[in-house]
Structure 1
Amino acid sequence: MALNPKTQSSLSRHTFWGVGLRFTGLALQLVTGIFAARVMGAQEFGAYVLAHTIVLLAGGAVHWGQGDLALRVLPKASAKTARRLLWNSVMATATSVTLAVPALWAAELAGARLAPGWVLVGTLLALHGGCLTLAALLSACDRVLWVQVIEAALRPAAMLALIGASALFDLSLDATLLFQCGIAAAGLSFGLMAVCLTITWKRRVPATGSSPLPRISQGFPLLATGWSSLFLSQLDHLVVGLVLGNTALGLYRVASRAAGLVGLVQQVATQVLGPRLSHALAAGKVSAARGLTATSAQAATAGGLGVAAIIMILSSPYLQYLGPDYQQAKHLIPIMTLTQICALPFGSGALVLILTRNESRLLKINCFAAIFGACTTAIAAHLFGLIGVSIALLALLPAHKARLRHVVLKTKGPDPAIEFPSWARTGSGKQRRLGRS
């Protein structure tokens, strides 16, 4: 069953504006990062990156998977089920923040110090976790564009404006000031999304009939799966910061930020497509979902290759502008860009495994990749430094993506191959027949 023209038009419009807003936000983040790296130097910038990485990892667990559960349950939830889901999300986030206070205090007493201080780290952690919860609830209510406007555009714009204002007042830019600006921007984003969710919730038309009330524990498998993916995305920064120190992390960050632009197109397509894919599968429109996601994967791959070419051309001027502290990163950008290119054709298998209720398989793959990747990158960092970490990731990331794709194509269920374009579905005759079913 195909989606009606109105739904297809809406998906195209959401994808177009979603990609535009995400690129705008990334451009603002890139400008902010370049300015901060240039002014602060590699060592201080690396100290900020390490603290921010910890915020991302801890903040990703604050909601206990309730946001991911909402993305699956809310589109077909009754009014009572929706209220329970909202209550579970609020309670999970509030409980996590409450438990984080004594944990941060204990870390301070134990002598574990980060450059911004644990108070600022904890504050940003709480706000970031709250923003993730609100963003997931809004996305589940089919308000993806609202999330993109606030999180992908307004929040980084506010961050850049605050940093610019601090420069006008001749304030010394360091990790502490960057975190203070980040807290203000996250607070603005949290407030706006809370207002948007309130408006959306009042206008939401609940599904007819009754549906099972969700339990908080139902989000735990989704939390484990989502957090394992988040950990994998931040693993290299964590290893470099802990093993090689802040200066090396500053160098690594400016290189990975540039190379990460390659995978952005696919990330945007996946993020915009996720709620729509959830709605399509919930409605049983599998063939329509297959066609839409296959087209999305093809466009993401083509766009990523174009971005890679631009990065290779502009990498030298980019590092020259940052200053002499960062010239050692010139050998890292080509390797990291090649890593992203090699991972592009495999699509987003993680999304398909989640939406087809195969989180346990994804979790097993991610856990193995996390343990093996942490050991491999740590050893490579000790033996060969930053080049060793980059080469290790060149082998690890495409292999992980390929493994996910292999599992997706072998999985039975509502057409698990929907995420992959036809030219990416290779393998045995049985697998090819599954992809066409």
Structure 2
Amino acid sequence: MNFQPIPHLLWVGVSCVWLPSPLQGTETWGYVTVRDGAHMFWWLYYADSPSAEYRDLPLVMWLQGGPGGSGTGFGNFAEIGPLDGDLKPRDTTWVQSASVLFVDNPVGTGFSYTDEEDAYATNVSTVALDMLVLLKNFFNSLEEFESIPFYIFSESYGGKMASAISLELTKAIAQGSIKCNFAGVALGDSWISPLDSVMTWGPYLYTTSLLDDPGLAEVTDVAQQVKDAVGSGHFLKATELWSLAESVVEKNTNNVNFYNILTQDTDEKVTARSGEDFISLQFRRHVNRLHKQSLSELMNGPIRKKLGVIPQNVTWGGQSEGVFRNMAGDFMRPVIDLVDQLLSAGVNVTVYNGQLDLIVDTMGQELWVNMLKWEGLSYFNKMRWTPLDDPSSPGVTGAFYKNYKNFSFYWILKAGHMIPSDQGPMALRMLQMITQQTS
């Protein structure tokens, strides 16, 4: 492990790059070999608050989506880390309210890497077991965090993985194989029930005037094909049809942005290349956007040199398509049952979603939530939601939320898929509420 004070002065060739930070804390990082040939990279920022010691603040692990999106890269520099992509201080960094652990997960993501092709994970069960190895190593190495409330926050496909990880972690704690104070999981715009997302694309786009009647019919038809494939257990075929469904949506909406319906993907339009399979197409559509050239240059340049532990043959993001490809057969499988098991086990579960997200639209999230067998669901559904002011615009509603027993739901307004990027102050306020902070 490497401990570094921040800000950090980094020499790159003959030039000097200053990596500033608004928070005079510490950070550490390292690798854990989670299986033979499978090496996972993690990066921790200690909480640095003017009003509390890091030992008095929670620990949050952030899991990116994709699968294949890098938390140490995109989540860190584009969403919640202390610095943005231009290495300027972020006012809404989560590090002011929690210690933040970024993990490049599954293996092969970001700076994580595999030695052999067969070392990639192919399902969320393997992903969860890999993470348990990492977490056991983490808490054994940094024993001061064993008693600190530990939360898992996630985004997109990261939520699907977070559900499986949280359940395995809960079992491991009960068995005594991991010592940590697991306090809850938050599922942000999460791919918990892929079919419910796909089936609501048409109605959502139609009611927001982004589809006409013929377009709605076309989207509905291809969504039904996805449903049939999932229903028959042909999950790889369902993933292929999901790709087709996105193409049909793009054609009928003049390239609506799946991550924010108020924008178009004109600058990043991804069309199929000659001879390209659907997995490569979907990887370019959904993971490449997390690996913009500027971020790639930052991670493979100054950040790589700063970290000093990245193997010479490892490139940040170099194995991400392998991650996505190997998970393709698991992509459309739902994990609603895992959320149910978490609730039954008494784990605090939060669902939060951006109002303007399409790929994981709120309509679809509400559908799978209503499929839960959790005993508190009927009471939760009868509750009225509570409005929350936008911290950056007092008097203006920034979100609504409901909470009953160990389940919460946050509806984040004016946000797309990447809520911390779109509504940073509101996302930070949500973090503080979920972790039961008062400021």
TM-score range, shorter chain: under 0.3
TM-score by length of 2: 0.22
TM-score by length of 1: 0.22
Considering fraction of residues, name the structure with more strand: 2
Tell which has more relative contact order, 1 or 2 (C-alpha 8 A, sep 6+).
Answer: 1
Considering fraction of residues, name the structure with more helix: 1
